[in-house]
Structures are given as structure tokens and as C-alpha cells.
Structure 1
Amino acid sequence: MTEYRWLLPSVLLGSGAERGPGRVRRSARDWFVDITLFVVTSLFTLIILSELEGDPPPLMMVEQVIGAVSCAGIWLRRRWPVGFALALVPVSWFSALVSGPTLVALFTVAVHRPFRHVALVGGLYVLCVLPYAVLRPDPELGVVGLMVLGVSLYLALVAWGMFIRARRQLVLSLRDRAERASEEAKRLERERIAREMHDVLAHRLSLLSVHAGALAFRRDMPREDVSRAAEAIRHSAHQALQDLRAVIGVLRHGDDGDAPQPPQPTLADLPGLVEESRKAGTPVRLALRLADPAAVPDALGRTAYRIAQEGLTNARKHAPGSPVRVEVDGAPGDGLTVVLRNPVRAPARQLAHVVPFGGDASGPAALPIPGSGTGLIGLAERVSLAGGRLEHGVSAADAPGAGEDEFRLRAWLPWPAAAAA
């Protein structure tokens, strides 16, 4: 019974899901429309009043009061559209002066309320046409002609109002879809910038950590080595500030395109990245097996650079001092392959959360360190956006009798043949 208790007020007052029965704020356009409708219905009522003949004076007085109250009720149509329309039903049986307000009320319900309310109000108005035609027959149209005219007019108003309602809902739906698309674009842009921040700053800060650690634990370092380490720290800090300033500039001023703001690294900057890691104490061997490295597209080279950067950063964090081998191979049409491998030392095996290379991820894994895997997750998203594949994990060393397992990071990126032209 509780759910039915709210049905009658909802229908009478029109307090559906779209708009409650509270105070309605009118815009300038709403005020113009309401004033225009009030003036038009008032003039229409006065014209009909001037043509009424033969009614007794008491009935004429009642008709005038009903017509004036109905015209004044136009101002309530936005707050209670269904209630105002239903209030005109009893007087629509006999009063000719409510014709204008009746048409406005039916049209308002058709525009602002669901079909169930429109069907209720429209059905009652159609039923009122028969007694009105009998009580006030038109000398030219007759009873049948007046009924056909009244029903046709009501149906036309309902169709027009429902068309306007459907059009407004379509516009709102398109606007909402555009807003959601805009929010999605902003979210993707924030994720792209977050990946850039992680890839760049993690590499710079890891270099700072390595050099600062050397100064902290090697108190007996020669003055020349201390000076070189301090210069490396200063250079890395300066580069980190520049990278951070560039990212903040993108966040503050926005980005007009999908590509990151220049200057951005390409595959030609990979030897410089390797040299930085060597200065930080990581033995790195670079094997760049490309016929023409300059033919690699900038976007593809940038992704390959970020893969190598993330791999070197992880090697410094989880296997400090281990030699790292970087291999880049590929050709247009075959794709670009980037492979990084380094021995997994005992401390790294205890800290790194990895799975056997090419094996089953459901197998046993070591305890992860806090925050481990974040860079690889972002790297996998970057490679996936580029249409490539990323694999990482521990496998046995290629050299027989090496006695150490290797951590491998392997990425394949598509390199269209047309890009080489």
C-alpha cells in the first residue's frame, strides 16, 4: 500500500522523476514564454466571450469567473502541470472560456511529463469533447464535426509536445555524452602525464639515489671522486627539475595534441641514456641492431626509449651492480623489439615480485616490496596503447653453467612498412 500511496500525488501534482513539486526557477526565456501564453490565452478568452449568446446572466457570470481563473492558472503550469491540467477537466465539459488554457495545459503535460501522464490527461480531455459538443453544438459543424475537430486538435497538440520532449531529451543526451567524452579525454591525458612523470622522474631520482648512496657509504673516497659524484647529483637534480617543470607546464596550460610536449627523447637518445647508467655504476652493454636507426618514427622511438629507461631504473633498484644488456632489433614491417636482461642476485630475488619468463603467473612468487610493479604496469599500458606486447619475468641464463637466473624485459612494438618511406 505504501507504493500506491505516492502514486496519486505524483500524478496530480506532476512530481515525477524529472522535476519535483518545489519552487521552479524561471529563466528570461521562461518569463517571455509564460507572459506570451498568458496574453494570448486572455485575448482568446475575450474573443470567445464576445461571441457567446443566449446564456443566462448567472451562467455568464460563472463562465467569466472560470475563464479568468483558468487564464491566471497559466502561471502554475510549470510547477504543477498535471495538477493544473486535471483541474480544468470538470469545467471543460461545458465551459467555452477554458478552451485556451486547456490547450496550453495539455501541451505543457506533453512536453514536460512521461507518456503515462500524457495518456491520462489526454484521455480525459478527449472524453470531455462529447458532452461539450452536445451542450454547445456548433451550427456549422454539428456535434460530430465539433467532436472530430476537438479530438484532432488534442492529438495534434500531444504529438507536437511529445516531439519537442523527445528532441530536448536527445539534446541533453548528446550534451551528456559530450561531457563524458571530455572527462574521459581529460582522464586519459592525466594518465599519460602520470606515465611521463614516472618514467622520467623515477630514472632521474634513481641516479640521485645511487650517487648519494656512494657519498654516504664511501667516506674514504678521493676528493676527485667526491667532486664527480657531486657534479652528477647536481646534473641529475637539474634535469629532474627541468622535466618536472615541463610536465607541470602541460598540466597548467593544457595540451592540444595527443603527442607529448617537445622536446621528447627518441631512439637516437638511447646511447646517452646508457652512458648515464654507466656513470651511475651500472655496467650496460647496448646492442643496437638496426640498419638505419634514423628511419625509426619518433613516436615508436620514444616508446622504445621509455622501455629501456624503465628497465634500467628497475635494474638499479632491484639488482644494483648487476650488468645489464640492452638489445634493440627490428625492421619496417617486422616490428621493433626491445629486450633488457640482467642477472638476478640473491637480494633482488627476495625483493622482486616476478614470475618465470614465459611461465605460469599462478606459480609461487617472492614477497613483493612496497610499491613494486607500478612502473611495469604503466609500461604495459604504454606498450598496449602503441599496439605492442610486453613480457617480463625470470628465466634461466642463456649461457650454460652460468649459475644465475636472469630477469628479462621484452617488448615488441609494431613498425609499419609505410613508416619507413
Structure 2
Amino acid sequence: MRRTSVVGNAALGAGFALVVLVMAAQYAAQGRVWALDAATGAAVCVLALGRGRSRGGAAALGLAVVGAAALVARLTGLPGEPGAAAVLGLLVLGGSAVRTLPWRSAAVLGVAGLALMAAGLLTAPAPATSFRVGIEVWALALAAGLGLRLLDDRRRATAEAVRHEERLALARELHDLVAHHITGVVVQAQAARIVARKRPEQLDDTLAGIEAAGADALSAMRRVVGLLRAADDTPGTAPATPGAAELAALVERFDGHGPDVRLRLPERDAEPWPPEVATTVHRIVQESLTNVARHAAHAHTADVTVARTPAALTVTVTDDAPPGHTRHLRPTGFGLLGMRERVEALGGTFTAGSGPAGGWTVHAELPVPAGGVR
């Protein structure tokens, strides 16, 4: 970016120098005094080239130089100012200032420039062509600067929206992974305390389960970090899309460390699930069972049902925790919020809440395009 700016300024400087020399040569050939025009044009062009330090200050100083040169030309009977080089420099200064200055400062500078040109047009003897051109060029500079400013604002808004979506996606992934694996560790650690008191001979197996759950958590975190550090989307960097087999393995990991978990899948589902739908189903089941383990310890069973219709895939997770042990979940908890965002991003519907007889139900309906994977 810096190299591009240097090259652009060098090209602009060459253009400025050419205009100053051409106008000086033209004035000399006509027998007119060219020194004031050349000096004014060179000064404004130099300010335009050095505008990066203070764009507002450079533009204001450029207007002051043009105003002073016009006054000198009027008092000495020299050719009217601003000349072509000075006008070109003002075009760059005005556009750059309006593009970058705060709105109030940009408005003040724009009005000041128009007022200066209008005053010169009204007080100069006819035909005052230079000031008419100056007004037109200054207006063009303001319009160009405003257009570039709006374009920059749109780009920043787009970039911020993308960063926001990326942060949300990352937050969902980290929450799902951390909550799932750490809950497994906590549940097994609680079980280890009971086993140590009642069946100490089984303690090694329980501790091995805790070790395995911790290793799984580390592996999952490494995969996420690896995806974040990947330089490009090369084959092998993306995680495999979880399917029915991975869903069964997920349920199996929960079974035996809390309520009995029963999984029901479509009997025959010839069409594969779209990757984004399959991932969302997997995350919903994972987060829902994690919540069962954390908040519904008194539940005896949890049912996971995935059903397929011609236009949608539905997933429902319910538990039978008694009313007296209803979980204390915030309606806007990160887990529920993440599940809702995933489902709604695919155009689906999501509901979650307790039933009249107790327990908790999470239900999501995800639209599946005809033909399965696209």
C-alpha cells in the first residue's frame, strides 16, 4: 500500500511539473509575465504532494496561496490567477480533504473554497475566466471527495460486517467445543469422586475417561486454531462434514455419563445432507446434550430425533427432567443464542423451552433444497 502511494505521488508530481512548465512556456511565448503563475502553481502543487501530513491544513493553505496570488495579480495588472497548475493542485487538495476530514471540517473547507472563488469572480474585471474555472474545478473536487468518502464508508461497513460475522462464527465454534468437552470432563470428574468412595477398583477406568475427554478437547482446539492459522483453503484444512455416523458417535460419548440417550435417525435417507445442514444438526445435538448433562442431572432419559421431510430436516432433543429440577437457563444464553443463529442463518426455525410436565425440548427445522447437496 505504501509503495502504491509513493508511485502514485511520483506520477502526480510529474504531471504537476509538466503543467507548470507548459503554462510557463505558453505565457513566455505570448510575451506575458509567467513567474507569478509558475510560482503559484508550483506552491499549490507542492502542497498537494505533501497533503498526507495534514490534508485539511494543506487544502486551507492552498486556498490561501491562490487568494494571495489573485490579489497580487489584481494589484499589479498581471494575468489572473488561479492558473491551470494551481487549479489542478486545488482539485487534488479539495478532493483529498473532503474524503478524509470530519464532516464539519470538510463542510467548512468546501464553503470557504467556494466563497473565495465567488469573491474573485465578482471582483475581477470581465471575463474573469480563471475564477469561473476555479469554481467549477472546486465543485468537482468536492463532489469527487464526497463520492470517495461514501465509497470508503461503504467498504468499512462491509469489512466490519464481515469481521462481525467471523467473530460470531468463531464464538459459536469455541463455545460449542469448550462447553461440550469441558462438560464431559466435569461430569466424569464428579463420577470419579463417587467411584473413589464406593468402587475404588474402578477409579482407574474413570480417570482414563477423564484423560480421554481432555485429549479430545485439546485436539478439537488444535483443529480450530489450525483453521484460523491456515494461509489458504487448501484441501485437508477443512474439517470433515459430520454425518449420521458422527452423530451416533457423539450420542455414544454422552451415554453412560448421565441420562440414557436414545438416537433416532431417518430409516433410509438416500440423499446426503448438505454440509452446512449436517454441521448445524451436529452442533445442535452436541450443545443440547451438553446442556442436559450440565443442567438436567435428574433426568433419566434424553431423546434425539432427526427426521427428514421432502423439504426440511428436523432435529429434536428432549429430556424428562422432573419439574422440581428444571434447569436454570437464561433465554439469551450463549449456547441457545448460538444454536438459534446457526439455524436462522440457514433460513430455518428454532424453538427451545420447558414443557408443562417438566423436561426441556430443543427443536429446529432446517430447509433442505431438493436434490440434497448443492
1:389 and 2:371 are equivalent in the alignment: no
Aligned to 2:262: 285
Q: Secondary structure at the match of 1:241?
A: helix
**Which of the two has higher C-alpha Rg?**
1
- How far, CA to CA, are the matches of 1:348 and 1:98 in structure 2? 93
Match of 1:71 in 2: 38
Give the AA of the match of 2:265.
L
Question: Do 1:282 and 1:320's aligned partners in 2 also have CA atoms closer than 8 Å?
Answer: yes
Structure 1's 162 and 256: CA in aligned 2 closer, same or farther, altered over 3 A?
farther
Which residue of the partner structure matches residue 115 of structure 2? 120
Q: CA deviation at 1:248?
A: 0.6
Please say if residues 36 and 69 of structure 2, whose CA atoms lie closer than 8 Å, have aligned partners that are also in contact. no
Matching residue of 1:59: none
Q: 1:411 aligns with which of 361, 364, 370?
A: 364
For residues 164 and 40 of structure 1, what CA distance do their matches in structure 2 show? 23
Could you report, residue by residue, the CA deviation over 1:175-202 in whole angstroms, capped at 9, with x for unpaired residues?
Answer: 4433432332233122212211211221
Q: Shift in Å at residue 28 of structure 1?
A: 3.4
After superposition, the Cα gap between the structure-2 partners of 1:420 and 1:97, relative to the gap in structure 1 and judged at 3 Å, is closer
Aligned length: 336
1:317 aligns with 294
Q: Does 1:263 align with 2:240?
A: yes
* 8 A Cα contact 1:326 1:338, kept in partner: yes
AA aligned to 1:242 is S
- The residue number in structure 2 matching 1:32 is 14
Residue 309 of structure 2 corresponds to residue 331 of structure 1: yes
Once residues 10 and 87 of structure 2 are traced to their aligned partners in structure 1, the CA distance between those partners, rounded to angstroms, is: 23
CA distance in 2, matches of 1:290, 1:162: 71
> Within the alignment, does 1:377 sit opposite 2:359 as a pair?
no
- Counterpart selection for 1:343 from 296, 305, 320: 320
2:197 alignment partner, SS class: coil
Separation in 1 of the partners of 2:41 and 2:323? 84
CA contact (8 A) 1:41 1:101 kept: no
Deviation of the 1:111 alpha carbon: 4.8
Q: Over aligned residue pairs, what C-alpha RMSD do you find? A: 3.2
Between the aligned partners of 2:111 and 2:161, the Cα distance in structure 1 is: 36
In structure 1, how many angstroms separate the alpha carbons of the residues matched to 2:70 and 2:271? 82
**Residue 73 of structure 2 contacts residue 81 of structure 2 at CA under 8 Å; is this kept in 1?**
no
Amino acid at match of 1:386: L
For residues 104-159 of structure 1, what are the alpha-carbon distances to aligned partners after superposition, in whole Å with 9 as ceiling and x for unaligned? 444544553465334323333333553xx6xxxxxxxxxxxxx3xx53x6544543
TM-score in terms of structure 2 length:
0.77
Aligned positions of 1:9-408 closer than 5 A: 27-29=9-11, 31-48=13-30, 51=31, 68-69=35-36, 71-77=38-44, 78=47, 79=58, 80-93=61-74, 95=76, 97-99=78-80, 101-113=82-94, 115-130=110-125, 147=127, 150-151=128-129, 154-156=131-133, 158-160=135-137, 162-163=139-140, 165-222=142-199, 225-253=202-230, 256=233, 261-292=238-269, 295-322=272-299, 323-333=301-311, 335-345=312-322, 348-349=325-326, 352-353=328-329, 373-397=333-357, 405-408=358-361
Q: Is the 8 A contact 1:286 1:325 kept in 2?
A: yes
**Per-residue deviation, 1:348:** 3.9
Shift of 1:315: 0.3
Instruction: Find the aligned partners of 1:347 and 1:229 in 2 and give their Cα distance.
Output: 30
- Compared CA separation, residues 162 and 418, structure 1 to 2 (3 A): farther
* Amino acid in structure 1 at the alignment position of 2:158: A
Per mean C-alpha deviation after superposition, the further-off stretch among 243-252 and 154-163 is: 154-163
Asked if the contact 2:307/2:315 (under 8 Å) is kept, the reply is yes
Distance in 2 (CA, whole Å) between partners of 1:106 and 1:354 is 64
Question: 1:95, CA displacement in angstroms?
Answer: 4.7
Instruction: Tell me the SS of whatever aligns to 1:285.
Output: strand
- Equivalent pair of 2:37/2:82 in contact (CA under 8 Å): yes
Is the contact made by 1:89 and 1:124 (CA closer than 8 Å) also made in structure 2?
no
Measured against aligned partners, the alpha-carbon deviations of 1:208-255 in whole angstroms (never above 9, x if no partner) come to 111111112332354663232222222222211111001111222256
User: Once the 2 structures are TM-superposed, how far is the Cα of residue 313 of structure 1 from its aligned partner?
Assistant: 0.2
Helix, strand or coil: the match of 1:393?
A: strand
Q: Is the 8 A contact 1:337 1:412 kept in 2?
A: yes
1:34-74 Cα distance to aligned partner (Å, 9 max, x none):
544443444344334xx36xxxxxxxxxxx6xx64553343
Gap change, CA 1:96 and 1:105, over 3 Å in 2: farther
In 2, the alpha carbon distance for the partners of 1:128 and 1:102 equals 17
Structure 1 residues 29, 420: CA separation in 2 closer, same or farther (over 3 Å shift)? Answer: closer
Amino acid of the residue matched to residue 185 of structure 1? V
Q: SS in structure 1 opposite 2:259?
A: coil
Match for 2:369: what amino acid?
P
2: CA distance between counterparts of 1:124 and 1:265? 73
- Residue 256 to residue 97, structure 1, CA distance change in 2 (3 Å): farther
Call closer, same or farther: CA 1:107–1:75 in 2, change over 3 Å: closer
Secondary structure in structure 2 of the residue aligned to 1:419: coil
What's the % identity of the aligned pairs?
Answer: 26
Q: Distance in 2 between matches of 1:271 and 1:205?
A: 20
Following superposition, the deviation at residue 342 of structure 1 comes to: 1.1
Q: Is contact 2:181–2:213 with CA below 8 Å preserved after alignment? A: yes
C-alpha change, 1:126 and 1:162, in structure 2 (3 Å) is: same
